Amino acid sequence: MKIKKEYFQYFIEAGQKQVYQPSDIIYMQEDDADLIYLILNGKVKVYVMNSNGKEVTMDILQSGDIFGESAFISPSKRPTTIQAISDVEVIACYPKHLYPYLQQSQDLLINILQSLSQTCDYLTAMIKRSYTYNRYEKVAAFLLDQMDHYHHHEITYSHEEIASLLGLSRVTVTKVLNEFVKEKMILIQYKTIIVKDKNKLYSFLHK
């Protein structure tokens, strides 16, 4: 569930615009959680460092997504690191500056709560994919999750981005996607995957 564009103005009035370039770190795991962010343009990567010092990608967020929700709980630490993948524009808000707008607009409050709830659902689905699915099921589940999250059939992730999210190699992701193309479940264009047959993809996942 994205934050609807009609509510962007509340964030703009409550916060400040920040601009980042590719590879810039917006905040790091274990930093103090003080700001919540709305992405206006661009993509960011959400990741954690495991006990072996390996980077584990949790999610890739884009325009309309919020992150830094731990700022709503004070005091708290950041559970993840956020890094810009592309040129990124965000609005950074202190929760106390956003609260008056939440009181003004019940629809905005509901939209944020829905977004937070969907984030929890996404993380649950990610854990299930990681431990119970084979490579075909992982990719199929990812495509279906993205459709549910963004409410359209076009998924703007590169093969490398999908691989990092699913813990697979880029070559493996490409092979699986090509098989889905042969089965006429998807169509691949430049950095865009178009789901052509959601029901067939869903049936493949649960066969």
List pLDDT tens digits, range 78-119: 989 999 999 999 999 999 999 999 998 888 889 888 877 877
Residue intervals of the chain classified under CATH 2.60.120.10 are 5-105
Quick: pLDDT tens for 174-189: 999 999 999 999 999 8
Domain 5-105 has CATH 2.60.120.10: yes
Among residues 41, 122, 33, 47, which one has the least CA distance to residue 83? 47
Q: How many CA atoms lie within 13 A of 140 on its CB side?
A: 21
With 70 as the cut, is the pLDDT of residue 33 above it? yes
Arithmetic mean of pLDDT, 7-29: 95
Residue 205 host element (H or E): helix 198-205
Confidence of residue 207 (pLDDT cuts 50, 70, 90): low
What residues have CB less than 8 Å from 202, skipping those under 6 apart?
A: 140, 144
CATH code for the part of the protein at 133-205: 1.10.10.10
Residue intervals of the chain classified under CATH 1.10.10.10 are 133-205
